[in-house]
Amino acid sequence: MTLRRFMLPGAALVAVLAVLGMQFAFGGGDFVPSAAADPCVERPLGPVTTDLDQVTQAVVVGGVQDAACALGTSRESLLLALPNATDRAALAQQTGKTEDEILAAVKAGMLASVDRLDQGGRIPPASGLVDAYASELGLSGLALQAVKSVPPEMIDRLLPTGAVVRRAIEGLDLAELLSDADGPDAWEPALRSAIRDAAIAEVKEQILDQLPSSLSSVFGG
């Protein structure tokens, strides 16, 4: 991944981190935090959404919580340490883990978070991605109509969105992401970009396989 890939709007994760800060706050105008919340206490899944960006936010937040629980530290400590190599090294020493183990815990946490969301019905169906990202499929006219003619149930059966999200996370190089990113606000944009790219590529590939060869050629298949 390159730095340019990460230079996307980071407002979504910034908002998530702000919410987390509020959750940790102790009453009063100065918002002095109380004792850190136990990261091993399961979080509610939240409302059902068909917005992939909101799903991504939930994956990141849930993944950090799972990782903090596994590492025996707080969510706040992990969030603050991840973007900085020196802080990660200090956290590694504190937890008795290596930096690689910390990053592996974060990735495992995000994958576990995807599983919870998927099982709880919070992952939007793949058929919804066709309309949401139609312009990014690089199609128009006859080709786009051909894609939209594929029955939604076929798309959902061929390409469960949860599997796309898992593969996107598994393909992330967190060490490189963190070394290139400028602070925690680069986390969510990078992950969202990876999920989007994987979803678009796989949706297009799977649909191509289902189309007659005469239409498949329109897509460059």
- pLDDT (tens digit per residue) in 157-171: 877 888 888 988 888
Residue 181's φ and ψ, nearest 5 degrees, are: -75, 150
Confidence of residue 212 (pLDDT cuts 50, 70, 90): low
- Domain range summary for the chain, segments of one domain joined by +: 3-219
- pLDDT (tens digit per residue) in 22-71: 344 334 444 444 566 888 988 888 777 777 778 888 888 899 999 999 99
Please state the rounded mean pLDDT for residues 201-209.
72
Per-residue model confidence (pLDDT) at position 56: 82
Q: How far apart are CA 215 and CA 100, in angstroms?
A: 46
- pLDDT (tens digit per residue) in 169-192: 888 888 887 777 666 676 667 767
Per-residue model confidence (pLDDT) at position 98: 94
In this prediction the pTM is: 0.72
List residues bridging with 25 in a β-sheet.
Answer: 33
Segment of 119-123, 151-155, 187-191, 201-205 carrying the highest mean pLDDT = 119-123
> Which position has the higher pLDDT, 100 or 150?
100
